[in-house]
Chain A
Amino acid sequence: MSQLSLYSVHAVLLLDSQGNRIYTKYYNPPHDENNTIFTNDSNLPKTLKKQIEFEKSLVKKTHKQDSEILIFENNLVIYKEYLDLTIYLIGSLDENEIILQQAFAAIRDSLDLILESGIDKKNIQEHYDMVLLIIDETIDNGIILETDSATIASRATKPPANEPQLTLDLDKGLMSAWGFAKNKLQERLQQGL
């Protein structure tokens, strides 16, 4: 029976208010081609063209509705609309709504944790790498991996610091070292003031 499968999430979408893609991921059970064990019960569109159509009509349907949860073309959709984007999580009709709601909340809350100035399109695009990690750590191939937002946020690493460029290059002579130190000192002092 499909409802006992761990593949409970069929898609995660981040769309802007016009329905353009910011992030989209449609999940299909892996190794689908020789799959005799799991039947893919997702009835989401498979081709890019149909998916985009689906997304556009979904945005149209949910825009300014403020209803959090609905059934759309025989999918259970949980969503939250922000100023200029909407986060969607789509599952099958048979899935427990609260479980999906928790998976959704996990993504939403951990995004809130890592994006210091809140969820909006610009922030998402600037921290796209971390957004990718957050979603990947929450859902793997449609399996809900984790629902605790702090755990998820702690697993999404920040981009590495700019290592080699920042180290002080002694070849450039003492003067530049002095200049660097001066600058730094000035900065500190200003901050202190």
Chain B
Amino acid sequence: MSTRTYKKFEASDSGDIPDKMTIYQDCMNQFNESPVNSKRCRTLLSRLLRLLANGETFTESEATALFFSVSKLFQHQNDSLRQLVYLAIKELSKISQDVLMATSSIMKDVQNGSDLIKPNAIRSLTVVLDETTAFSAERLLKSAMVSKHPTISSAAIATCYNLLPVSEQTIKRFSNEAQEAIVDLKYFPQDPSNTEFYPNSTFITQYHALGLIYELKKNDKMALLKLVNQFAGNNSIKSQIAKVQLVKIVSELVNKDPQLFTQFQPLFNNWLGNKFESIQLETAKLITNFHATHPRLVAPQLFSIAIATLQNLLSVPRVATRFSALRILNRLSMVTPDHVAVCNPELESLINDSNRNISTYAITILLKTGTAKNISSLISTITKFIHEVSDDFKIIIIDAVRTLSLNFPQEWKSILNFLIDVLKNGEGGFKFKNNIVEAIIDVVAFVPQSKEMALENLCDFIEDCEFNEILVRVLHLLGKEGPTASNPSLYVRHIYNRVVLENSIIRSASVIALSKFAISKNDTSLRESIVSLLKRIANDKDDEVRDRATIALKFIDTSTANEPTSSLADELIHPTSAYDLASLESKLSSYLSENNDSFKTPFDVTNIRKYSDDELKAINLKRKQEQLQKGTFENGMESSPKMAKKSDNKYGKRIDSDTYSSPNIDEQQQELLDTKYSDELLSMAEFQNFGKLVNSSKIVALTEPEAEFVVRGIKHIFKDHVVFQFNITNTLTDVALDNVVVSCNPEEPEESQLQELFIIPIERLLPSAEASCYIAYSKTEDVVTESFLNTITFTTKELDPQTNEPFEADEGFQDEYEIDTLYLSTGDYIKSSFIGNFTATFDELPNEEVAVYNIQESITLQEVVDKLITSTSCLPLENTQFVHSDTNSHILKLFGKSALNGSKVALVIKLIKSSKGIALKAQGKAENATLCSDLVNNLI
């Protein structure tokens, strides 16, 4: 190629990238020229790499041709050209074939190259070697690893690390060299030729070596412990980043074996006082994460030192440090807000930080640590602040306020005022407004006192709202809550305005909302006005609106007629219960797919679970509480990265998923599973005549999760029957179980009120399969509580690995396996339920029962509370499910309804912790006296 065309692109170096094919041609020509012009070649290579870095690609044949030409440049001994050659080789090897041909040239450089070029050569081995050739570099890599030159040694270790997936066997032999690389402190040799920069060894080789050793030994707990003990105590690790790696290894160790934590406590103390902030942070992260899963193993003193360390880091000038400390505190504030409260002064000063990320974090933490005392002042601070930040931050703050409303229902006034203020005055997009409306809907749902004020303001809001979706939601809320308010006619006016002014979607939503006011109990005079309004709407030009109006009129007509159908019409206008949507969906889709008589049999909805309003609220509240507790600690749990990722996708655009976590996936799956089990049960012929399934318990583990046979039990309650379902998983790999039967024996056979009816055994349970065995009992209509001793009996048969069938001659032998006791308790008959005003309801309930317990085990109050909530299956109210960690007493308020007849039951449980154990006084009140005494007397 001529110099002229070359020159043409010289100028373009600073501007746009030249055309891909021109570069390709230039490279092919220039690289094959002899002698090689090193300067031009380097410029060309740099352009080629720029093309690749910009996302251009070459076809495989082009890339192979390029690769071949580039490797010709190995003839030229110029370090500065060679460095670029290596870069090009690394990039091109991804798309070209025959990359192996460069190996010998690279190997030559690894052996005889200058100190400058050696590391580049070594690192490029990553891309040219594969499973079959990796061993050939073994000797070279080994000697490079123990080189005194830090960069060479690091390059060799990094390359080994990169090669691990393809040649684990070879790399495994390097652990001695890697160990040596940690101990050996490598300095740069004095190099008189390089006068421009003065390299200063950071001993980062230690980090690489530590990383490699961990990968080699990660399954060997003892080796890792030895590693930690060797390097943690003394000062032999100089590299900051290697020390952080060491902290991470310890974190991994204690998470796998929590008992190790105590032994490391002095070390943690030491690390928290380390001069490097990164180590302080990593250690604090370790301690706080561990505290979330194993609170009892962390000495309170250590925990408070960790918090104090974080607190100090909040006031350092470095942004990354503050940010990191805030992230940890934020996570912590969701679980134990009271511990974080000591940092409040620092957090308050961070509200005005120039970095918006930091100020938003500070505010969200403050909102979570807020106590009843400072909430209103906090809210007035945010009110000033919120209009200045971007939409994303606003949403985070709104979410935090929303949690606040769940935690401090008594502060609803200031919270609601704040929400209404931002709703009316805040500038923002759909997402932002929608979040506020959702928050208000939450407040209305869980704090009944706030209803009128919230509704009035929402009415004002919809007069001037540009988002259809939000309007429809508000209209629905008005229709649902409006008729029971003290002055329903107020809302009718606002809703009718929508009918006059808005588009058809909103008009049809308004019609539904209006029709609900017709049966309002508070203002019977409304009915006629509504009817006349609806009659007018029935002439609307839109089909949907007209249809809805007509049908609503018909319903109202029927419900006034005082006929037997009138209550049905009421129900249709104002439904009091909703179907379980997940199970409805699955039923409907199976109905569609089966279709054996071209839909002659109508779809049967009676089997689908229905939830009443209160139950739905209870479910929602529970989910939100659990979100607060669990979802936030996903980082600390071992098994959750996948789960976290799933939820991340859902909330993809959220700028920070850990300020407000998405619904816990596990929990949802659990619910789906529940529905699935009950569906399975109801579809079996044997259970058809048992009638409606009243309640299903949570899944109870009856064995250790790592046992040979993992058994989990579910109790299904019918009106006159009880069915135990045992899900058995065979974890053995080569044995099938035949005729698996669970035999349940009541602990006190004479007094048993249950009659065993039949057992449905599992015919064959193949390895790693799960199947269910059912046992049915008949019972009286009352609440029956009993405990059962369970044994599984089965015939084991060895499997032929070829066919995966048992050997024909194998008769197998009988075996037994004992599993834990299954308790049928009063809690199984109770469904958790929500009530807005607990104290008033509690006082009204007629029957009272009091019981006192003493627990002598050493467990924390929180654990007792958790146990009580599960055993009673009631809903904790007024945020009493969290125990402040520094108190010795607690009051738990629980509310539920009987699954059999829906009678209410409320419990107030007072707990006091002393040196002797925990004293517990339960006061139960219920509509049904026996239920009350059963529940209170069988708490534990």
Interface residues of A (CB under 8 A from B): 1-6, 21, 23-25, 29-32, 34-38, 41, 43, 48, 51-52, 61, 65-74, 78, 93-94, 96-102, 113, 122, 125-126, 128-129, 132-133, 136, 140-141, 143-148, 150-151, 153-164
Does B648 sit at the interface, judged by CB under 8 A? yes
| Chain A min CB distance to B592 (Å) | 35
Spot the interface stretch: B352-360, B447-455, B792-800, B922-930.
Answer: B352-360
Residue of A nearest to B84 (CB): A129
Q: Which residues of B contact A51 (CB under 8 A)?
A: 55
Determine the chain B residues whose CB is within 8 A of the CB of A145 once the complex forms.
Answer: 154-155, 158, 204, 208
B23 to chain A, nearest CB (A): 13
- B248 lies within 8 A of A161 (CB): no
- The reply to whether A6 and B356 contact each other, CB–CB distance below 8 Å, is no
How far does the alpha carbon of A36 sit from the alpha carbon of B218 in the complex, in Å?
A: 14
Q: Does B58 contact A (CB under 8 A)?
A: no
Q: Known: A37-B215, A74-B657. Contact between A67 and B357, CB under 8 A? A: yes
Given the known interface contacts A6-B211, A159-B43, the answer about A93 and B635 at a Cβ–Cβ threshold of 8 Å is yes
Q: List 28 A-B contacts (CB under 8 A).
A: A2-B641, A6-B161, A21-B53, A29-B162, A30-B162, A48-B55, A67-B358, A71-B357, A96-B244, A97-B281, A97-B323, A98-B244, A122-B14, A125-B15, A129-B49, A133-B83, A136-B120, A140-B158, A144-B241, A146-B154, A150-B197, A151-B188, A151-B202, A153-B197, A159-B80, A160-B38, A160-B78, A163-B39
A41 to B644, CA, bound (A): 11
Contact of B116 among A102, A155, A160 (CB under 8 A): A155
| Residue of A whose beta carbon sits closest to that of B647 | A74
Q: Are B655 and A146 in contact (CB under 8 A)?
A: no
> Is B469's CB within 8 Å of the partner chain A?
no
Tell yes or no: B79 within 8 A of A by CB: yes
Extra contacts, 6 of them, besides A37-B168, A154-B199 (Cβ < 8 A), are: A32-B165, A61-B655, A128-B46, A141-B162, A144-B241, A161-B39
A136 CA to B15 CA in the complex, in Å?
23
Interface pair A160/B54, CB less than 8 Å apart: no
With A38-B165, A159-B42 in contact, do A132 and B208 touch (Cβ < 8 Å)?
no
Question: Across the interface, do B54 and A157 meet the contact criterion of CB distance under 8 Å?
Answer: no
The reply to whether A151 and B38 contact each other, CB–CB distance below 8 Å, is no
Q: Given the known inter-chain contacts A129-B84, A147-B241, please indicate yes or no for A163 contacting B38, CB distance below 8 A.
A: yes
Q: Give Cα A173–Cα B706 distance, bound, in whole angstroms.
A: 91
Residue of B nearest to A34 (CB): B165
Nearest CB of A to B660, in Å: 13
Assess whether A67 is in contact with B319, with CB atoms less than 8 Å apart.
yes
Verify if B332 is at the interface (C-beta below 8 Å from A).
Answer: no
CB neighbours (8 Å) of A2 from chain B are 641
B71-94 contacts to A, CB under 8 A, are: 78-81, 83-84, 87, 90
**Across the interface, do B53 and A25 meet the contact criterion of CB distance under 8 Å?**
yes
Select from chain B the residue with minimum beta-carbon distance to A1. Answer: B252
Is A147 within 8 A of B81, CB to CB?
no
Residues of B202-238 at the interface with A, using a CB-CB cut-off of 8 Å, are: 202, 204, 207-208, 211-212, 214-215, 218
How far, in whole Å, are A163 and B886 apart by their CA atoms in the complex?
77
Q: Is B306 an interface residue (CB 8 A)?
A: no
Counting CB contacts under 8 A, is B163 at the interface? yes
- Taking the closest CB of chain B, its distance from the CB of A125, in whole angstroms, is 5
* Interface residue B64 (Cβ < 8 Å from any Cβ of A): no
Q: How far is the CA of A41 from the CA of B628 in the complex (A)?
A: 25
Residues of B within 8 A of A74 (CB): 648, 657
B695 at the interface (CB under 8 A from A): no
A37, B219: Cα distance in complex, Å: 12
Assembly CA distance A161 to B81 (angstroms): 11
The residue of chain B having its C-beta at the shortest distance from the C-beta of A97 within the complex is B324
Contacts of A148 in B (CB 8 A): 199-202, 204
Known: A4-B214, A160-B78. A69 touches B357 (CB 8 A): yes
Residues in A whose Cβ lies below 8 Å from that of B319: 67-69
- Tell yes or no: B376 within 8 A of A by CB: no
- Known A-B contacts A69-B323, A125-B13, A129-B45; the reply to A154 vs B84 at CB < 8 A is no
A residues within 8 A CB of B163? 30-31
Please determine whether B55 and A24 come into contact, CB atoms closer than 8 angstroms: yes
Residues 640-683 of chain B, each 1 if its beta carbon lies under 8 Å from chain A, else 0: 01000100100011011110000000000000000000000000
Query: From residue B46, how far is it (CB to closest CB) to chain A in Å?
Result: 4
A94 cross-chain contacts in B, Cβ below 8 A: 635
**Neighbouring B residues of A143 by C-beta, 8 Å:** 158, 161-162, 208, 211
Q: What is the bound-complex CA distance between A143 and B648, given in angstroms?
A: 25
- Max chain B Cβ within 10 angstroms of own Cβ: one of A96, A122, A160, A161: A96
On chain A, the residues within 8 Å of B165 by CB distance are 29-32, 34-38
CB pair B278–A34 under 8 Å, yes or no, is no
> In the assembled complex, which residues on chain B have CB atoms less than 8 Å from the CB atom of A144?
204, 207, 241
The complex places the Cα of A125 from the Cα of B323 at a distance, in Å, of 33
A154 nearest CB neighbor, chain B only: B197
Q: Given the complex, which residues of B lie within 8 Å of A157, measured CB to CB?
A: 79-80, 83, 116
Nearest neighbor of B285 in chain A, beta-carbon distance: A96
Knowing A122-B14, A133-B87, A161-B39 touch, does A150 contact B200 (C-beta < 8 A)? yes
Are B357 and A150 in contact (CB-based, < 8 A)? no
